[in-house]
Structure 1
Amino acid sequence: MAQRTSKKGKGKGSLSALIVAVLLAGAYYLFFQEEDTAPTRDGLIPVELVKTIDGDTIKIMYEGKETNVRYLLIDTPETHHPRLGKQPFGEEAKRRNQELMNSGKLEIEFDIGQKYDKYDRLLAYIYIDGESVQEKLLSEGLARVAYVYPPNTRHLDEYEKVQKEAKKKGIGIWTLEDYATDRGFDSGTYPVKGDTSSKTTAKQPVSTTTEQFANCTELRKVYPTGVKKGHPAYSERLDGDKDGMACEPR
Structure 2
Amino acid sequence: MRSKLLLFLLVPLLFIASCEVKESDEEKELHEVTKVIDGDTFWIDDNEKVRLIGVDAPESRNTGHKKIGYYGKEAKEFLKSYLTGKRVQLKYDVTRTDKYQRTLAYVYLEDGTFLNAELIKLGYAMVYTVPPNVKYADQFLDLQREARENSRGLWGKEDNK
The TM-score with structure 2 as length reference comes to: 0.76
AA matched with 1:56: D
The equivalences for 1:149-168 within 5 A come to: 149-150=131-132, 152-168=133-149
Match of 2:84? 102
Of 129, 143, 148, the residue aligned with 2:130 is 148
Unpaired runs of at least 5, structure 1: 1-36, 176-227, 236-250
More helix per residue: 2
Distance 1:119 1:55 in 2: 17
- TM-fit CA distance, 1:115: 0.7
Instruction: Report how far residue 91 of structure 1 moved.
Output: 0.6
Instruction: Please name the residue that 1:86 is paired with.
Output: 68
Q: Do residues 49 (structure 1) and 33 (structure 2) align?
A: yes
Contact 2:57 2:126 in 1 (8 A): yes
Matches of 1:79 and 1:105, distance apart in 2: 23
Residue pair 1:45, 1:109 contacting (<8 A) in 2 also = no
| CA displacement 1:26-81 (0-9 Å, x = unmatched) | xxxxxxxxxxx933xxx4431121211110001112xxx60111100100000123
Q: Does 1:234 align with 2:154?
A: no
1:38 to 20, 25, 35: 25
Aligned residues between the structures: 136
Rg comparison, structure with higher value:
1
Runs of 4+ in structure 1 off by over 3 angstroms are none
Contact 1:142 1:172 in 2 (8 A): yes
Q: Check the 8 A contact 1:69/1:124 in 2, yes or no.
A: yes
> TM-score, normalising length from structure 1?
0.51
**CA pair 85-163 structure 1, distance change in 2 beyond 3 A:** same
Long gaps (5+) in structure 2: 1-23
SS state at 1:47 partner: strand
**Higher RCO (Cα < 8 Å, 6 or more apart):** 2
